[in-house]
Amino acid sequence: MINYKENVQIDKKDLDYLYSSVGWIAYTNDLDNLKNAIDKSLSVITAWDNDKLIGLIRVIGDGYTILYIQDILVHSDFQNKSIGTQLMTKILSKYKDVRQKALLTEDASDVRHFYEKFGFTSCDKGSSVAFYKEF
């Protein structure tokens, strides 16, 4: 049975286990930085299979007018089991009154479908424009 927890302390080893499983090595190359980012997030909801961290969604923003979904990921062994859907549903429910919700992700058909089912519109299909800068 999957248990969901909100804003709990997460060990670096648990973060490494989860983020490594999906190949997000830019995060795991600096676990101290990742841990600090998680700790400073507006909200973090996690999914656990017993004592194993298998899913996480974290948001940043002010929680009133803007919410940015920074990370949503599910361990590779647990994907396609509605865990990501549960995480997204929980975070959107918690911040249902926030007017502007944003995220930036890769362009892939399955990724696009996942976000569209929650009412997100891709900037390439709507009237908005998105900009980003990597260092």
Amino acid at position 96, single letter: K
Report pTM.
0.90
Q: pLDDT tens digit string along 60-79?
A: 999 999 999 999 999 999 99
CB 84, CB 69: distance < 8 Å: no
Q: State the Cα–Cα distance between residues 113 and 47, nearest whole angstrom.
A: 22
Q: pLDDT tens digit string along 69-128?
A: 999 999 999 999 999 999 999 999 999 999 999 988 877 777 888 888 998 888 777 677
pLDDT higher than threshold 90 for residue 50: yes
CB 56, CB 47: distance < 8 Å: yes
Q: Residue 35: which H helix or E strand, with range?
A: helix 31-40
Residue 39: phi, psi to the nearest 5? -65, -30
